Structure 1
């Protein structure tokens, strides 16, 4: 690693002051991704600002709106097992527990989960071209081994995917991200936080340098009656998703009042199709209707030499997960899936 200075802060304002708008000054909390980026010389830092002591960003608060505010410094493990989250937002709990290993979840923070970078082979190999790491150098994945790469929303500049499980659930729940920076506080809808690769694949999200995520707001509706999270991967132990699906359904008298379907492992950000969700409104929760919704979501999908299989895999995963959401008890170990 390169040499850098290290400082701890106890308030958000102190952290913003220490970053001082310098792109070489980095925030560190759990460090589960940043440490790798530094170790492999993908990023460099002149200063690391440790924000773990900021107590104001490490809590879960019930909001007057009926929703819940979760602190950015709450760990993934504490979040997944928090009684409020397990009861009100079981979809989020399931998604977090599907991600990483127990050891990493004990260290990783909610804010850091949103900020993690892609796990593309070529991004981590500094001897290969990568527009995300070195803008303008090219994308080695397009003609290389692209089994884990994007099938939706990609560009000729980058076909990497965003690796988070937690963020797929947050996208389905319509969360909001609370941010503070030198210019004050602002709120971003979760759908607006992460970016597609486009012409600027090196910019992962819309957080400005010098800003800090302070918390994440969950709306009142948590889809606790009908939900499911499905993660398909090469091995069931610690591994990133080939395709993941977060589903929340609001069903009344056998009819879908509202549907949320978000995908992971398929694009540069968690992927949702409001067209597909609107299609399911006022319809019965049947395999046929879920299959049609899946076709709508994947209608613009594009595969490459090694990942075209993900298109059909994603369609089947969507249908399976929607059926599982009809009976959340089917997700318990040993239970027979609702297929």
Structure 2
């Protein structure tokens, strides 16, 4: 008696749905489909009689039409409606495969912690060591901005230097900047990042003292040249150390924003210092303004030194 085939006998094979999908292991998908079908269809076994095995695909595997309707109704449910067509076949391939579009939990946590739209991405410059570097850069730029705004008048009017001598002084400052930038890594290697930054900040702000204790003539020329050379070298070292500390202190997606804030602090500090120096120089005199800048620098350096000393004592105790 000829067996009547069920209407499900010509369903398309589920593993044909992703035949042309890149990055898909078809052998693994084929094996997973056969395991699911054996669990759902008790009648489809490898150990079928020879006459029934000949109806298969020639490799000893029974086709899908051996799954009878009563086996399908009594079998446990297959996730994703695996025996259906269309979407069901696609879901079979997704069993045990990670979704490349879904971010991992660690990446999501990191993104939520570091990335932020708009101004929230700039908050990292106000944390940890970066905050100290930003404050030091602002102080250095304020003091040097005030002095630079008055330096040309101070050198030519108060100290009696010629225009040619002042040009040589400016060239000396450029040489100091080159020397500081070229030796910044040496400073960090020998002293460490924080100590090198403190020494560089001391040189950049303390160089103002060369302008206070000078008089007309040769001493004035040497004082202005020493200020430009030492101050430019120290300022360049400090800026290099500050910018190089940003990538290792903030998340990778906030480096550009943090560097932008650092550059903004440098420019705004210089502009505000120059404006304040011009106003104070007009009101109180150029030499008095230069002396005031030296006192402010000394007070700031003393405060930083005391803070560092207290931190060292606390860490030892």
**TM-score (norm. length: structure 1):** 0.21
Q: Which has the larger radius of gyration?
A: 2
Higher helix share: 2
**TM-score (norm. length: structure 2):** 0.22
Higher strand share: 1
